Amino acid sequence: MRIRRILRALILQDLFCGFSKTGHIQLYTYVKLLEEVTLASIIIVIFEMFNIMNLILILGIVHLINAMFSPPFYNALDVKKRIKGVSIKEGREHVFKIIERVSRHIDCAWITGSILHSEKHIVKDIDLSLKPKNILHAYVLLWYVRLLVILFLIGYLKVFPDVYVTDVCVYNECFLIYSKPKKVLRIALSGADGSGKTTIAKLLVKHPPIDNCKVISFYGGEVPVYRCVFGKKNILLYVRLLFDFLIRKFKKISTGDFTKIYVFFNNNNQALKLYLLLSFIDFLISRIIVRLKIFLNFVCGFRNQNILLVLDRYAMDVYIRYTTLYLLVKNSVLVNIIKKLSYIIALAELKKLDTCIYLYASPKTLLSRKKEFPIFALDLMMHAYSLIYKSIYNTKYDNIIKINTENDLIETYQIIRNNIKKVLQTVKC
């Protein structure tokens, strides 16, 4: 029976911990197997042993060496019976040290065993399960578990480290001893130009809605493909930039003259189709850039704080910006596909937000804040926003907060701040 346990520990090790509970293989397993295959491949290339039997043999040797540094092998040898152990107090101190050292790599940790309910007040092992944040952190934890086993073997650690890296607790009875100390809230400020999106975003950064909260704000609308500074000018490069240049050069129309551009597109449907196609490419690129920014902010930094990510505009604002131009094209399959795809992408982005704050005001108020826009353009924009968000309200999207910014923007900020506090309390870790 004991020989069977040892053979099982040598072959299976801790590769399938948590499989019976989740029904799928853990990140830790993929990391360990990938490391073994990579190491075996390197050995074969170095010693030029290009043979399938050599590969199997080297993989087996590497796998057995890994078993020497995994807790199941020493459990099969019953090493816990041969050690004196330490007091419960000292055992708990070891646990807290382990949690402190790996806290940046784990989402949560569970503990069980004698350290919780030992009758003799003696602890011989630390039964701990660690959930990694991602595959890279799982690899770090793999080496940390090996280090703990080595420290136990040389006598530096007086208790056996029965530590496993899994997505769930491997024990039937366990206690959640650690959980990641942050909440993440993704909100977007949406609305027509002049509704107060940028002003409120700046206020949220300057005055966070709660203590111990890192507020990160960036433009989430149509992001340029490339941004550079030439002299004193800030140059934004878009895919449709060449088209804008040709309009200015040959049609003598400034890109800021909305009336002339509207008339030009109304009379030139082919030019409008090309412009909408190039704009759709810009739209797709901007969504990739925004997703990358979100990834960098949430995965690479600020891990021990509450994070409030404020998007000044998002995909729906870009879609609504072009709705008036979509209406100018009749019976075009290409434009209909672009329109539907843009709307689907915008709804998908809305679904991933914790809250979308839709800001609205009358066209006269918008004109007083954005004087470069003609009144008819602001009127069309507000009409498009009201129609789109009215249709979204009637669907399953319940994460939209509608706020009138007709009054002072400072008062509006206080209302938004109170709403964010309520939402932040319900966000799961």
- Residues 121-147 pLDDT 10s: 788 888 888 888 888 888 889 899 999
In the chain, where the domains are located: 2-179, 184-226+265-426
**Confidence at residue 230, expressed as pLDDT on a 0 to 100 scale:** 45
Residue 229 has pLDDT above 50, yes or no: no
Residue 82 has pLDDT above 60, yes or no: yes
**Confidence at residue 25, expressed as pLDDT on a 0 to 100 scale:** 76
Q: Is the pTM of this model over 0.75?
A: no
Taking residues 248-273, report their average pLDDT: 67
**Confidence at residue 32, expressed as pLDDT on a 0 to 100 scale:** 86
Between residues 200 and 23, the one the model is more confident about: 200
Query: Among 275, 389, 385, which residue's Cα sits nearest to residue 332?
Result: 275
**Confidence at residue 18, expressed as pLDDT on a 0 to 100 scale:** 65
- Average pLDDT for the chain: 78
**Confidence at residue 299, expressed as pLDDT on a 0 to 100 scale:** 53
pLDDT tens digits along 316-330: 888 888 887 777 777
pLDDT tens digits along 15-42: 777 666 666 777 788 888 888 889 888 8
Assigned CATH topology for domain 184-226+265-426: Rossmann fold (3.40.50)
Residue 3 has pLDDT above 70, yes or no: yes
Percentage of the chain beyond pLDDT 90 is 1
User: What pLDDT band is residue 352 in, cutting at 50, 70 and 90?
Assistant: confident
Per the CB < 8 A criterion, the answer to whether 26 and 17 are in contact is yes
Percentage of the chain beyond pLDDT 70 is 79
Per the CB < 8 A criterion, the answer to whether 219 and 317 are in contact is no
pLDDT tens digits along 234-252: 555 566 666 666 666 555 5
Between residues 218 and 180, the one the model is more confident about: 218
Query: Among 194, 190, 214, 192, which residue's Cα sits nearest to residue 204?
Result: 214
Between residues 98 and 235, the one the model is more confident about: 98
Lowest mean pLDDT: which of 154-158, 259-263, 374-378, 411-415?
A: 259-263
Taking residues 44-53, report their average pLDDT: 82
**Confidence at residue 245, expressed as pLDDT on a 0 to 100 scale:** 62
Terminal C-alpha separation, the chain: 44
pLDDT tens digits along 383-395: 888 888 888 866 6
Residue 304 has pLDDT above 60, yes or no: no
**Confidence at residue 429, expressed as pLDDT on a 0 to 100 scale:** 39
Residue 50 has pLDDT above 70, yes or no: yes
**Confidence at residue 8, expressed as pLDDT on a 0 to 100 scale:** 78
Hey, what amino acid is at 41? S
**Confidence at residue 227, expressed as pLDDT on a 0 to 100 scale:** 53
Between residues 295 and 40, the one the model is more confident about: 40
User: What pLDDT band is residue 428 in, cutting at 50, 70 and 90?
Assistant: very low
